[in-house]
Structure 1
């Protein structure tokens, strides 16, 4: 029986020779230093530390050596693999830092620049216009009241002194809902909000009610089957037309600027008595009736030379309306008024076509910005 081969020289295993290990280590270190980015370094790691790399194959050969030769060979392989691992770690740290710097340089977003991904939006001018009107009256101590757009026939007509035979109750002006026995309509004015207010609370009452209303009008440059109104109601002791005139003068000044006042022309409305049409002093020619840009040579294009612009209707609340809503007409009086928000905006901003307010063209809306 033969003994162990104590004369075996580990140098005879080519992959474990000092020269072969040094060459494999140097090749790995050179490849690591030459890696330009993390992707290249990943390929170098697989080539020089993977299962089929020269150092990995040399490590497998250690087991074929006699016991007394394994220690020295293992130390040589371990030193070579350790040097490669340290070099990989250092190079990885450097390349990761360079990668982060490149990302910061190439992917930096200047948050102060305007974006072109989503265009800047704007609130609709009718919305901001209604809020402006509400703010004017809230500053005077009034309250904002709201009501449904689908309204009871009694509140829309009967409570406001519009009898069963009144022309406004026909299909020419009113949208009626089906079935007819429900007696519901799309409100033709925001006056039902005033009736609801008087039915649910005791005077003194000072409320303003902006909102949508509906009438069977043609859709053109000056008419729409859906538009917006603001109506005001004041019920208190001693209310007179003088209070109404002062209120509307203040409203006109707040909407159209200093020096804009109103005048009353006698008219008729079933829910007010006496009643009046409200005119504004032309805010372009200031009542002169002439175009200020032509040195008085041409009539004002806004008021057509009249010096006044029709704005809305108003009057002292009819005692029948007060009684229908449970208010003592012997103790209390009141006034009411109503104007078109859309029409007021057309005056205020020189809008020539009412349809521009309802077409939904963002190019029109964005010219108004976020506030009026």
Structure 2
């Protein structure tokens, strides 16, 4: 089932600054984007064309023409932001690829070019220190006519991207691996992971990108003959890549208004931690309509919407337990007035502004606003007074 963004929600989404666009101001993300595209240009000696497209796209371009099935769960409004029955805010920058492929129908000679499609994408997402509802993504598609592109070239592409994001000169202990993965619009797909060191000295594998050979059906959908055309496609999250490059642990820092933090987001040097404000935790006991409603992405999106501009103080939203009425003591069922089919959800909010200390009173007010947005029970438990 689809629900549609209100005009106010749409306006708010479109007003968000794209940190990857140099026309919207200097930022380390634009520098990293330039390093990635330069690395591939140097690797292949081909022209790079960057496309900055509207985030409003045809739903068919975002899904159907990239091989998504009509019943794919990602189409649901829990995960995608629909504007109308046929238009949505793109959920990935790959949504710009079908029109790009259409523009190549008249190319009859030799063709070999790298197309870069960076920008914001819009998703229903969980709230933690590595996820936001509007992350930045980069699609890199090398398209070639009258020539082959195979797994060996894809492997070289992955190696070049890793070196651009985490240069060996600065990150000598970085390793990478590629594991098989299925994607809607590629064949011979891979997930690209990097092994990085954490501040506590531990080592952890983190996903950096996904890639593969452009699927024949995607080419055919734009009237391009797969016997003549070939392509490599790689998509990566620019927020994650920049955080890895600079050693940033909290994605909210990329948009911080603190001047000590902002000045460090004008280069690609290692991040020097600024004094961190203390966390404030608030636990909520919610009643939801069903266990299916206890979805951390759905609840996270509702919490962000409820707090609006103040959602930046949300460092994390965690589901601690989901219990049906049958699993609760009778006294708890009576106290919560649980109806048949409803569930009790224990939720933890972690509140932490980046530039000030949150008072208990402020935390309680924010807690209650989130509670009222998420709770579906008859009894209210507010604490702000």
Q: Which interval holds the TM-score relative to the shorter structure?
A: 0.5 to 0.7
Q: Which of 170, 173, 176 lines up with 2:82 in the alignment?
A: 176
- Give the aligned length: 231
**Alignment of structure 1 residues 21-40 onto 2, 5 Å:** none
Q: Given the alignment of the two structures, is residue 257 of structure 1 paired with residue 160 of structure 2, yes or no?
A: no
Q: Deviations over 1:155-213 (max 9, x none)?
A: 11111001211111111211001xx24x1111111112222211112343421221111
CA apart distance, 1:340 = 0.7
Q: Scaled by the length of structure 1, what TM-score is found? A: 0.57
Residue in 2 aligned with 1:132?
A: 35
Aligned pair in 2 of structure 1 residues 357, 163: CA closer, same or farther (>3 Å)?
same
Residue in 2 aligned with 1:269?
A: 183
CA contact (8 A) 1:146 1:193 kept: no
CA apart distance, 1:371 = 6.3
Give the whole-Å Cα distance in 1 for the aligned partners of 2:266 and 2:53: 29
Unaligned runs of 5+ in 2: 1-24, 270-385
Residue in 2 aligned with 1:240?
A: 150
**Alignment of structure 1 residues 195-210 onto 2, 5 Å:** 195-201=98-104, 202=107, 203-210=111-118
Give the whole-Å Cα distance in 1 for the aligned partners of 2:215 and 2:192: 18
CA contact (8 A) 2:162 2:176 kept: yes
Residue in 1 aligned with 2:9?
A: none
Give the whole-Å Cα distance in 2 for the aligned partners of 1:327 and 1:205: 15
Unaligned runs of 5+ in 1: 1-121, 286-290, 292-298
CA apart distance, 1:353 = 0.6
Quick check: 269-278 or 203-212, which moved more? 203-212
Q: Scaled by the length of structure 2, what TM-score is found? A: 0.55
Give the whole-Å Cα distance in 2 for the aligned partners of 1:221 and 1:255: 20
Give the whole-Å Cα distance in 2 for the aligned partners of 1:125 and 1:369: 5
Give the whole-Å Cα distance in 1 for the aligned partners of 2:175 and 2:119: 24
Give the whole-Å Cα distance in 2 for the aligned partners of 1:267 and 1:354: 26
Quick check: 319-328 or 201-210, which moved more? 201-210
CA apart distance, 1:124 = 2.5
Q: Helix, strand or coil for the counterpart of 2:181?
A: strand
The structure having more radius of gyration, on CA atoms, is: 1
CA contact (8 A) 1:263 1:279 kept: yes
CA contact (8 A) 1:249 1:261 kept: no
**Alignment of structure 1 residues 196-345 onto 2, 5 Å:** 196-201=99-104, 202=107, 203-236=111-144, 237-258=147-168, 262-282=176-196, 284=197, 300-303=201-204, 308-345=205-242
CA RMSD of aligned residues (A): 2.3
Aligned pair in 2 of structure 1 residues 169, 158: CA closer, same or farther (>3 Å)?
same
CA contact (8 A) 2:195 2:203 kept: no
Give the whole-Å Cα distance in 1 for the aligned partners of 2:237 and 2:244: 11
Q: Given the alignment of the two structures, is residue 361 of structure 1 paired with residue 262 of structure 2, yes or no?
A: no
Q: Helix, strand or coil for the counterpart of 2:160?
A: helix
CA apart distance, 1:343 = 0.2
Give the whole-Å Cα distance in 1 for the aligned partners of 2:257 and 2:103: 37
Give the whole-Å Cα distance in 1 for the aligned partners of 2:178 and 2:222: 27
Give the whole-Å Cα distance in 1 for the aligned partners of 2:188 and 2:268: 37
Q: Deviations over 1:84-134 (max 9, x none)?
A: xxxxxxxxxxxxxxxxxxxxxxxxxxxxxxxxxxxxxx9332333333334
Give the whole-Å Cα distance in 2 for the aligned partners of 1:336 and 1:204: 14
Residue in 2 aligned with 1:192?
A: 95
Q: Helix, strand or coil for the counterpart of 1:310?
A: strand
Residue in 2 aligned with 1:350?
A: 247
CA apart distance, 1:341 = 0.6
